[in-house]
Structure 1
Amino acid sequence: MKAVNRVLVGVVGLILAGVGAAVLVGAFDLRRRWGLPLPSAWPFDGPRDVLLSRAAQTKWRGEGWWWPAVIAGLGVVVLLALWWLLAQLRRRRLRELVVDSGDGEEAVLRGRALEEAVCAEAEALEGVEHALVTLLGRRTAPEAWVGLTLAPHASPAAALSRLDGEALEHARVSAGVGRLPVEVRLRAVRHRAERVG
């Protein structure tokens, strides 16, 4: 998926750069100023050139389907661009992990089950009020994101040490991975001040 995204971004970038270069060459009249040898089919010849001639602009206006088709087409392009942008920003949750069962075969471990196990073990740690665990990455190279809400009296260093030494170590052993990169976000629980009277 990452390779497809990179290729797609590269192709779109090259197209936009080419169109931008064509517009700049025409707008600043660089063909005549610098004597650039451009092909005869170059879209912009000078600053007064337009992409569509007057005849091309008015050709389809009289047709009843023209404006709805243009608006629908642009709407689809905008929706596809938004969908693609959101797909890039969203982290892919890992649905399953491949575990070496030791007999030459591979077993599949549900990502949600491992998340729930690590979450339950993290919430059992002293000073941790709430935990949220999400597995990311690839089936053979998982990564984890952990959010911990700590009690007011809890030591962040101690909570991190116990999380790594207990809950995450058990996850590494269960998943059969030597490495489990983890991003941990810590937050302190806030209690409302109560009036004592």
Structure 2
Amino acid sequence: MSAVLRTVNRVLIGLIGLVLLVLGGSVLAVGLGVRPPSWWIHDGRHDVLLSAAERTRWRDEGWWWPTVLAVLAVVVLLALWWLTAVLRRRRLAEVLVDTGDGEGALLRGRALEGVLAGEANRLEGVAHAHVRLTGARTAPRSRVQLELEPHVDPGTALHHLTTESLTHARNSAGLATFPAEVHLKALKHRAERVS
């Protein structure tokens, strides 16, 4: 998750929580008999938030219901966007490398992704490799997508990826384990006319 999205997420959650806390606390306090200030949205224990006159005030206006439905649709779409952004698999921003002195160092996740993808691209028969890091910075996981040339045996390509590229990345970062989810895809060549 990017820093901007993480900040927006925290601010929205904080604001929504604060609004709900203030409204819920005020309803509870007024319900228990606390006298609210004169400017507050309801006056006493038996007061309702919307009176019958307020609920039916705009009923005869032609623009009212389309506007209400449009606003609710926008709120639902924004909530769905927010939910998918939060639940989406997150790209790992940094990996904590054990330096052996008890301190550790931070390695940029994109740098490790780039090096791992570069090594995987150099493997025999690999046309293209894409790597994405997920998990925690102390226990990263990798998602590797390999596009293989048509003549390559997938088992051999997976073996080379595991024993060379992934092992080298695990050892370089000083990780005890480096789980990987590997997706293999055969590259298809278009038929060409030979004359």
Match in the other structure for 1:49? none
**Residue 86 (structure 2) pairs with residue 105 (structure 1):** no
Q: Deviations over 1:145-190 (max 9, x none)?
A: 0000111111110110110001000111122211111111111111
| Distance (Å, rounded) in 2 between the aligned partners of 1:65 and 1:189 | 55
| Distance (Å, rounded) in 1 between the aligned partners of 2:57 and 2:174 | 66
2:128 partner amino acid: H
TM-score when scaled to structure 1? Answer: 0.65
| Distance (Å, rounded) in 1 between the aligned partners of 2:60 and 2:127 | 67
SS at match of 2:193: coil
| Distance (Å, rounded) in 1 between the aligned partners of 2:74 and 2:119 | 46
| Distance (Å, rounded) in 2 between the aligned partners of 1:188 and 1:100 | 37
Match in the other structure for 1:132? 130
Match in the other structure for 2:155? 157
1:142 partner amino acid: P
Match in the other structure for 2:56? 58
Give, in angstroms, the shift of residue 192 of structure 1: 0.8
Give, in angstroms, the shift of residue 60 of structure 1: 3.8
**Aligned 1:6-25 pairs, distance under 5 A:** none
Give structure 2 stretches of 5+ with no counterpart.
Answer: 2-8, 14-49
Match in the other structure for 2:44? none
| Distance (Å, rounded) in 2 between the aligned partners of 1:189 and 1:145 | 19
Q: Deviations over 1:124-148 (max 9, x none)?
A: 1111111000111111111100000
| Distance (Å, rounded) in 2 between the aligned partners of 1:62 and 1:193 | 67
Give, in angstroms, the shift of residue 103 of structure 1: 0.9
| Distance (Å, rounded) in 1 between the aligned partners of 2:160 and 2:102 | 33
| Distance (Å, rounded) in 2 between the aligned partners of 1:96 and 1:171 | 14
TM-score when scaled to structure 2? Answer: 0.66
| Distance (Å, rounded) in 2 between the aligned partners of 1:65 and 1:174 | 64
- Quick one: higher RCO (CA 8 Å, sep 6+), 1 or 2? 2
Which runs of 4 or more aligned residues in structure 1 lie more than 2 Å from their structure 2 counterparts after TM superposition?
Answer: 52-57, 59-73
Match for 2:174 among 161, 173, 176? Answer: 176
**Percent of aligned pairs with the same residue?**
61
Match in the other structure for 1:36? none
**Aligned 1:74-89 pairs, distance under 5 A:** 74-89=72-87
Q: How many residues align?
A: 149
SS at match of 1:161: helix
Give, in angstroms, the shift of residue 64 of structure 1: 10
Give, in angstroms, the shift of residue 77 of structure 1: 2.1
User: What is the RMSD computed on CA atoms of the aligned residues?
Assistant: 3.0
| Distance (Å, rounded) in 2 between the aligned partners of 1:77 and 1:151 | 47
| Distance (Å, rounded) in 2 between the aligned partners of 1:168 and 1:194 | 36
Give, in angstroms, the shift of residue 96 of structure 1: 0.5
Match in the other structure for 1:117? 115
